[in-house]
Amino acid sequence: MFNRSKEKKNSKTASTTKNPSTQEWMPIKDIQNNLLYRKDNHIVAAIRVQPVNLNLLSIKERIRKVKRLEEALSGLNYEYQIISIAKPVDLDSYIMKLEQMRRDTDNVIKKKLLSIYSNQAVAKASSGEALERHFYILIAHQLGKNPKLDEQVILQQATQLAAAMSSAELLSSVCGDSDLRTLQFIFSNPAQAAFERAPIDRIFLPTMLFAEEDET
């Protein structure tokens, strides 16, 4: 009897290990103070870098921009990670605008052209080809005995890196709490990122998800 109970207990533990809960699966503990807090006692700062279309630049301009980027990154004495995320673009408002323009015009040629543009936009939206690229640089730092000091250090590193990237003609900025939530939202909900936004505050979520606060 004792052996069977032990086997059942081990079986239950193994089942739990194979199917971790959502809380265990998500590595993020919190987002606040312009930082992302991980469960392994690390904090992460993010710098968003605006994309540049190199096809619009001459060969000399491309070489110069790449060299300035190398100079900005070669001076770093800490680890960093560069990520590129494809975010779907919501074309619904654009398609609705084209349809409204088509209905309002009496010009047959213009009506036909607007119909063609509208069909092309619908095809791109339905096929998933309408994407925009988001570029980020992530910096991680382990929290020590003085968390406040560690937070100041990593935010200072992020600010200096954003300034260095901007001086290299790559417009950059340190991500705030809302930007970090957007970044996490794109990772967690890539299919809905074009139609929904990360919640700004808890007031946008159902009240049933939160415990009632005691009134004093």
The string of pLDDT tens digits covering residues 158-171 is 999 999 999 888 89
pLDDT in tens, 150-203: 999 999 999 999 999 998 888 999 999 888 888 887 777 655 555 455 555 555
Tokens standing for 122? 């619908």
pLDDT at residue 127 above 80?
no
Pick from 28-32, 68-72, 127-131: least confident: 127-131
pLDDT at residue 212 above 80?
no
- How far CA 114 is from CA of 20, 130, 210, 212, in Å, comes to 51, 19, 48, 53
Virtual torsion, Cα 142, 146, 151, 153, nearest 10 deg: -90
The answer to whether 43 and 140 have CB atoms below 8 angstroms apart is yes
What is the mean predicted confidence (pLDDT) over 51-55? 86
Task: Classify 64 in phi/psi space as left (phi over 0), alpha (psi -120 to 50) or beta.
Answer: alpha
Q: Would you tell me how many other CB atoms lie within 10 Å of the CB of residue 35?
A: 24
Q: Where are the domains of the chain?
A: 23-85+132-200, 90-129
pLDDT of amino acid 3? 47
Average pLDDT over the chain, rounded to whole? 79
> Which pTM was predicted?
0.68
Reported as a pLDDT band with limits 50, 70 and 90, residue 53 is: confident
pLDDT in tens, 139-153: 999 998 998 999 999
pLDDT in tens, 74-105: 888 889 999 888 777 777 888 889 899 988 98
Tokens standing for 160? 């200096």
The answer to whether 61 and 50 have CB atoms below 8 angstroms apart is no
CATH class of 23-85+132-200: alpha beta
pLDDT of amino acid 197? 54
The answer to whether 70 and 78 have CB atoms below 8 angstroms apart is no
